[in-house]
């Protein structure tokens, strides 16, 4: 394992310990809303702080982009940037719904090179380094071999933070409901992408994601043999926030369906 990935794993596991401890007493949790349907807890902040402390100790010269603290957490001019979501699936966590994860991506010159997604509920650790494959608890993973859309299970997320894309999304959802074996919306984009990488789902799409939601997961999918793009079929998903991923065969069938319902505001 690459040395920088070792540090990312250490940080993710430390954050997972904080999250697991807090999950035992959700009644005492302090919750606040950043905007409608977008919540933050002191657990998000504590987990993020634990991650940042481990990064700073090992790599004080690196930049940090984290969900709760923004880009204030490290060197601003570094070619290496850590992209962190300390608790992806906060709404699930608040409700005791066991589907959330720590997500850490490491980009060099704007390209994600390393990825860690850690699910503390199931003690599942997903890792990837560019060109070296993707792993779940040290076991090599690959996207599924499914090739027919009508047999595929597709993950998704509702555009819940802003309603402007809901009509276009519902059209996509309806069409895909008829053309697939099923759609799933578990509530953590990072885990959704990890599940596509290891073959539990055959594809995934979502509108309006942040870089920290998908930086690690997108690398996992591509290193597991899958394809990832924005809605225009380009590689700018971290910039646009719109992402499609899947096995090569399913991706090729999923993208045109989504493109058919793109509005002017969803051109990428």
Looking at 107, 141, 175, the residue that finishes a domain is 141
What is the number of domains present in the chain? 2
Q: Which residues of the chain have pLDDT under 50?
A: none
Question: For 92, what's the count of Cα atoms within 13 Å in the CB-facing half-sphere?
Answer: 18
Residues 173 and 214 in one domain: yes
Residues 56 and 84 in one domain: yes
The pLDDT of residue 215: 98
Residues 36 and 82 in one domain: yes
Residues 39 and 120 in one domain: yes
Residues 100 and 173 in one domain: no
Residues 243 and 217 in one domain: yes
Residues 69 and 15 in one domain: yes
Looking at 95, 122, 141, the residue that finishes a domain is 141
Alpha carbon 154 to its chain centroid, in Å, reads: 15
The pLDDT of residue 163: 75
The pLDDT of residue 50: 97
Between the CA of residue 168 and those of 159, 160, 171, 231, 253, what are the distances in Å?
Answer: 10, 13, 5, 13, 18
Alpha helices in 79-188 (DSSP H): 90-94, 166-179
Tens digit of each residue's pLDDT (9 = 90 or more) over 31-87: 877 666 566 789 999 999 999 999 999 999 999 999 888 765 566 678 999 999 999
Instruction: Give the residue numbers spanning the domain of 44.
Output: 3-141
The pLDDT of residue 266: 65
The pLDDT of residue 122: 97
């Amino acid at each position: 394992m690459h040395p920088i990935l070792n540090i990312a794993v250490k940080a993710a596991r430390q954050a997972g310990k904080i999250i697991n401890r807090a999950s035992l007493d959700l009644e005492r949790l302090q919750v606040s809303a950043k905007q409608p349907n977008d919540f933050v807890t002191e657990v998000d902040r504590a987990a993020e702080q634990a991650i940042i402390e481990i990064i700073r100790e090992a790599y004080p010269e690196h930049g940090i982009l984290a969900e709760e603290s923004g880009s204030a957490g490290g060197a601003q001019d570094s070619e290496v940037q850590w992209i962190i979501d300390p608790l992806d699936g906060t709404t699930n966590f608040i409700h005791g719904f066991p589907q959330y994860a720590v997500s850490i991506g490491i980009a060099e010159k704007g390209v994600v090179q390393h990825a860690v997604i850690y699910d503390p509920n199931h003690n599942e650790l997903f890792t990837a380094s560019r060109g070296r494959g993707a792993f779940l608890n040290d076991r090599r993973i690959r996207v599924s071999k499914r090739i027919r859309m009508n047999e595929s299970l597709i993950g998704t997320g509702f555009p819940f933070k802003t309603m402007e894309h809901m009509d276009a999304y519902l059209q996509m959802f309806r069409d895909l409901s008829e053309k697939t074996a099923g759609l799933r919306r578990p509530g953590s984009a990072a885990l959704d992408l990890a599940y596509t990488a290891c073959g539990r789902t055959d594809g995934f799409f979502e509108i309006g994601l942040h870089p920290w939601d998908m930086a690690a997961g997108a690398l996992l999918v591509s290193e597991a043999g899958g394809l990832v793009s924005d809605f225009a079929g380009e590689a700018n998903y971290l910039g646009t926030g719109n992402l499609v991923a899947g096995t090569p065969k399913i991706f090729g069938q999923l993208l045109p369906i989504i493109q058919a319902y793109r509005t002017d505001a969803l051109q990428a």
